Amino acid sequence: MKVIFLKDVKGTAHEGDVKEVKDGYARNYLMPKGLVAPATEANLKKLESRKDKIKAKEETKLSAAKEKAEKLSSLEINLTMKAGEKGRLFGAVTSQDIADAISEQGIDVDKKDIELKNPIKETGEHTVTIGLYKEAKADVKVNIKAEE
């Protein structure tokens, strides 16, 4: 089914995109939530008239995300955790822990935006990537020290 995205759907499309999606996904999930509209002639004409607004909105989001990425790149997070003799942590540092530490610095980040393949289980310096919006990403240094 061909649809017009009315809002951003993470991992699928951005507002204003016209894409082909599976019928069940469109009917059972996207349409009831008001995220898409069928790509009819009338809806496509409405989309054309809204393209400029959508593009301006997109540029605003991207510039705000790049600004936030700049702030995040200059951050260095220090965490203290209980650890064994060889620097192996009792437990692990998860994306939630990192998001909380960043929030304490005054910048809000969703834990889902933190690209952490596996929880950090060792002390030392680690680099964590945060994907904010499209190509706006930031690398944050996370220093984990053993509790004394």
Query: What confidence score (pLDDT) does residue 19 get?
Result: 92
State the architecture of 2-63 in CATH terms.
3-Layer(aba) Sandwich (3.40)
**Number of separate helices (H) and strands (E) present in the chain:** 3, 9
Q: Average pLDDT for residues 102-115, to the nearest whole number?
A: 85
119 — phi, psi (to 5°)? -60, 150
Instruction: Tell me if 43 sits within 8 A of 16, measured CB to CB.
Output: no
User: Residue 148 above 80 pLDDT?
Assistant: no
Which of the four pLDDT bands, split at 50, 70 and 90, describes residue 37?
Answer: very high
CB-based burial of residue 140 (10 Å sphere; 0-12 exposed, 13-18 middle, 19+ buried)? Answer: buried
User: Residue 28 above 80 pLDDT?
Assistant: yes
The model's pTM is 0.66
Distance CA 15, CA 54 (A): 7
83 — phi, psi (to 5°)? -140, 160
Q: Where are the beta strands (DSSP E) in 6-95?
A: 18-20, 36-38, 76-81, 88-93
Q: Tell me the CATH number for domain 72-146.
A: 3.10.430.100
Residue 40's nearest CA partner among 9, 1, 14 is: 1
For the stretch 52-80, pLDDT in tens is 888 888 888 888 888 888 888 888 888 88
Domain ranges of the chain: 2-63, 72-146
* Cα–chain center distance at 18: 22
